[in-house]
């Protein structure tokens, strides 16, 4: 298996990272965490899976490598998500998902009397 894990990354002993039959490379960056019951399956293509630094993949997630997937730095993936990049070739696309800025709201006036 072509698995490259940074020394500061942590992979749960209950995570399941399958071997690739097509030479898929799986890279896990510094300070990243692969939680228990995460499944990484090289299937649906021959692309690499590159996980950046300070990434957390929470329990129960399934990642299919497909034609390749890059997860950037400082990303948290919620529990039980499925990343299935099997049918699409995204080599010419790049997108970033950002969270909305934090807001503080006063809901006290809406409380039941």
pLDDT in tens, 25-62: 999 999 999 999 999 998 877 789 999 999 999 999 99
Token output for 100: 């909305």
pLDDT on residue 1: 59
pLDDT on residue 47: 85
Distance CA 105, CA 101 (A): 13
Please state, rounded to an integer, the average pLDDT across all residues of the chain: 82
Closest Cα to residue 76, out of 103, 53, 47?
Answer: 53
């Amino acid at each position: 298996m072509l698995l490259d894990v940074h020394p500061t990354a942590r992979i749960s002993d209950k995570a399941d990272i399958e071997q690739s039959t097509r030479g898929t490379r799986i890279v896990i960056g510094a300070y990243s965490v692969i939680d228990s019951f995460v499944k990484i399956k090289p299937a649906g293509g021959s692309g690499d899976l590159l996980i950046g630094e300070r990434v957390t993949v929470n329990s129960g997630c399934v990642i299919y490598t497909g034609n390749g997937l890059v997860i950037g730095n400082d990303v948290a993936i919620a529990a039980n998500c499925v990343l299935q990049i099997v049918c699409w070739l995204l080599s010419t696309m790049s997108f970033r998902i950002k969270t909305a800025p934090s807001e503080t709201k006063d809901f006290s006036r809406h409380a039941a009397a």
